[in-house]
Amino acid sequence: MTNPILSNWTTPFEIAPFADISDDDFSPALDKAMKAHNAQIDAIAANPEMPTFANTVEALEAAGEQLDKVLSVFFTVAGADSNPKREELQREFSPKLSAHFSGISSNKALFKRVADLWTRRDDLNLSEEQARVLMLTHRGFVRAGAALEGDADARMQEIKSRLASSGTSFTQNLLADERDWFMDLTEEDMQGLPDFVVDAARAAGQEKDAKGPVVTLSRSLIVPFLQFSPRRDLREKAYRAWAARGANGGETDNRDIAAEILVLRKERANLLGYDTFANYKLETEMARTPDRVRDLLMQVWEPAKSRANVDAEILTQMMQDDGFNGPLETWDWRYYAEKRRKAEHDLDEAALKPYLQLDRMIEASFACANRLFGLEFKRLDVALYHPDCRAWDVTRDGKHIAVFIGDYFARGSKRSGAWCSAMRAQAKFPKVQAPVVINVCNFAKGDPALLSYDDARTLFHEFGHALHQMLSDVTYESISGTSVARDFVELPSQLYEHWLEVPEVLAEFATHAETGEPMPQEMLQKVLNAANFDQGFQTVEYVASALVDLAFHDGDAPTDPMAKQGEVLAELGMPRAIGMRHATPHFAHVFAGDGYSSGYYSYMWSEVMDADAFAAFEEAGGAFDPERAKALEDNILSTGGSREAEDLYLAFRGRLPGVDALLKGRGLIAA
């Protein structure tokens, strides 16, 4: 019987037939797909004909279709709906896949063909896009170690395999800590909590099969608990558990894994001729060098720290007025900041939240995409991997553009955070294929589901990534959608967040869950006025994480990452009542894989551009200016990685921005 993963998918728009796939299908499908891919690679490498772009680079682009299907399905469910079997498979697949792709990148005969094309590139009469793909292909082989020989080559393969396994272990340890910890709450413990937090705690208790309501380590529950619980003892207990993820000792402790990863990355960079891993990693980004990254972060750090220190004095006085002596602690900040926000802006999140219904915010994100880019969304009735998921057919002028899948609710089987991925990327070669794009979030369930303002911003953020995938219009999959420099990939997502703050968008879609009435104008204005509230805290917790990440990779690998983290924070003068957004043992961006390693700064780098890019709309005809929208699509959203990121931004804006737009946007300097 044909394995359903490898069969021809006859579902609408060839969405993966999740209902037909069992966990037992993954391992045999992977083995068969890797075997088929290896045969394709061997045929390209052994081709007796002179290398051409078609028989080498395009042949590589076309290879591995079966493997793409297996991995897209498996990693979707492994991240968003894990179980013990899938975790076991992840541990099994990680070294297999590392060996498989290392075998390709170290294939000397294959690299010889690519290198031959690279030396003759000026005589090949390639299109601009083809020249870009050849450059990236050649660069990818070199950076993967294809030019290494002998012991260095063998050691590189060992390092890559070990890094893959370690990243998987780090992720699974973190998921285990997040899944297994919860704090029981009595009815008395919930006094003072708004209804939406109480409802979320009860729902979490049911999911955990607890005797009653609980607080879990899901951000969508623990953050509002820290904001609203008047019980300082419970806030401390919850915060300490949240901060200790990955550092609890025993089998799920990530500290030694992080140390090993940093040592291996440094060795990998040295084998390729780089002094540090940061030099290696940043070479292909917009920033180019560690010094440029550090310069940006420090320009933001000092004004953010100054603002945070002023805020800390105010919050400390509020706490002491409540009868608590001593310094403000990390589990106090959110509680007193929320009280201050309510006092200064008369903005009560408990009163605001009924106006931010999940379904209405989804509609808002779609409506903005319709006005900007002409996209339309129609619900699809199709089986997906979890009942919480929903799918839409995305069209423009009646033509199918993409499938969009949303998986919005927190659950124990889903890793924390929010992300966007393409189960199938846009391409025109070797055949035309429309993308299948998924947004995964971790919002609290409810009837109806209500979002915090930060949740709503996250929804728009991830949908910005989705638009980057859905509007992609290039020939080759390797440069489609979000296949761009890491410090450019956050530009479309962070830019799209701005449309949530457009008054007419909130006026139309922020309607009360019970009455259906639009958000009162007075509340709407308060929301917009409070948009920069507590930016000292938010900026400090982020920039501290980015600077620690950079310090880990720009120099010798620390044998004790926790000690190094402490040194960096001490040198920065980190405010004592603010924790890093991601401390080392749960810094999945950096240690679950190479994606954001030495690159967590990229959110800030992109924010420099997104503040400036939205200003381009405001300077023109407003947030929905059609000419600016077309320029954004033509020069950024549709172009993928077909040109250098800096060139794409220059084509859109005509110049590169400075950091002032970011500082003004965050309210850290006067506008």
Q: Give me the active site residues, please.
A: 462
The gap between the terminal CA atoms of the chain, to the nearest Å, is 66
Distance CA 181, CA 502 (A): 39
The amino acid sitting at 519 is M
Pair of tokens at residue 554: 């720009």
Backbone angles phi, psi at 187, to 5 degrees: -60, -35
Helix axes 128-144, 84-105, angle to 10 degrees: 100
Cα 277 to chain centroid distance, Å, stands at: 21
The secondary structure of residue 621, as a DSSP letter, is T
The amino acid sitting at 660 is D
The secondary structure of residue 350, as a DSSP letter, is H
Distance CA 608, CA 336 (A): 30
Distance CA 526, CA 580 (A): 28
In angstroms, the Cα distances linking 635 to 286, 436, 514 are 16, 22, 42
Pairing of the two strands 419-424 and 399-409: unpaired
Distance CA 95, CA 196 (A): 43
Q: How many CB atoms lie within 10 A of CB 626?
A: 13
Reference 471, options 439, 506, 437, 503; nearest CA is: 437
Pair of tokens at residue 578: 């603010």
Distance CA 265, CA 244 (A): 25
**Under a CB-based contact definition with an 8 Å cutoff, are residues 269 and 277 in contact?**
yes
Q: What is the DSSP string of 481-540?
A: TT-S-HHHHHHHHHHHHGGGG-HHHHHHH-B-TTT-PBPPHHHHHHHHHTTTTTHHHHHH
Backbone angles phi, psi at 265, to 5 degrees: -65, -45
Pairing of the two strands 419-424 and 376-380: unpaired
Backbone angles phi, psi at 575, to 5 degrees: -55, 135
Q: How many CB atoms lie within 10 A of CB 281?
A: 23
Name the strand (E) or helix (H) holding 581. none
The secondary structure of residue 190, as a DSSP letter, is G
SS3 per residue for 60-115: HHHCCHHHHHHHHHHHHHHHHCCCHHHHHHHHHHHHHHHHHHHHHHCCHHHHHHHH
Cα dihedral 623, 626, 630, 631 in deg (nearest 10): -60
